[in-house]
Homo-oligomer: A and B are copies of this chain.
Amino acid sequence: MVSKAIAIVAGVGPGTGASVARRFAKAYPVVLLARNPDNYESLVKEINSSGGKAIGISTDVSSPDSIKNAMSQVNKEFGDVPAAAAIFNASGRFARKPLLEMTLDEFQGGHEVSVKGAFLFSQAVLPLLLKHVPSGEHPPTLIFTGATASVKANALMSGFASAKFALRALSTSIAKEFAPKGVHVAHAVIDGVIDIPRTKEWLKDQPPEAKIEADGIAEAYWNLHQQSKRCFTNEIDIRPMMEKW
């Protein structure tokens, strides 16, 4: 019996990650990775109690051992399963600071997750994505969440921007290597404030169209996943109607 393909979402919190998890859970059992179980526990319950299937695994994507452990748990739960989709939505801490006041740790905070973590996650999920190529209705899809800083390096943002530029390059390099093998890799430049609990006070004087809806991002990712192998989109940008760019 062939296992049913799963979807794996790294970086599940109250925003994009949760929306993406809900969206992909309509079609696939989902594996939710976050460092802090608080970030996925209620969501796991919600999905499981509404007809879907979800498990959460406490994972530090920047740790090879933690990633390896996560993949063992996936294997224990689902067996030798293919993955239809994997979404890398994790993002490290970052400091908005003058360069001369930034510590090395602050500078590297974003890199640990966005670069090293993305690399480790990609190595872990690509074998499962490749396994899905022959049988999948839709080409297996690996999506990386970027930001304004993926294409624009502003003052005081040296750590975050350099990490996000690096992530974008990683995405493109993997996209070029794995497209001929049937894996669809895409990068999303999320250019604006996402409307989540943490940003409730931001842009308060503006209409809702000044912030991005996380469900809209999830829908865009789902649409990327639906694309045929004769029509791969490798990069999209996403911004709310009121965004200046």
Contact = CB atoms under 8 A, between A and B. Distances in A.
A99 B212 CA distance: 26
A18 interface: no
Interface in A156-176: 156-158, 161-174, 176
Contact of A156 (B116, B163, B172, B177): B177
Interface string A213-230: 100110110010011111
Contacts of A38: none
A235 B157 CA distance: 19
Copies in the complex: 4
Interface of A: 64, 98-100, 102, 104, 107-108, 111, 115-116, 119-120, 122-123, 126-127, 139, 149, 153-158, 161-174, 176-180, 182, 184, 195, 208-209, 211-213, 216-217, 219-220, 223, 226-245
A180 B242 CA distance: 5
Residue of A164, A167, A170, A213 with most chain B CB atoms under a 10 A cut-off: A170
B220 A233 contact: yes
Contacts of A168: 153, 165
B173 A153 contact: yes
A170 B195 contact: no
A55 B116 CA distance: 36
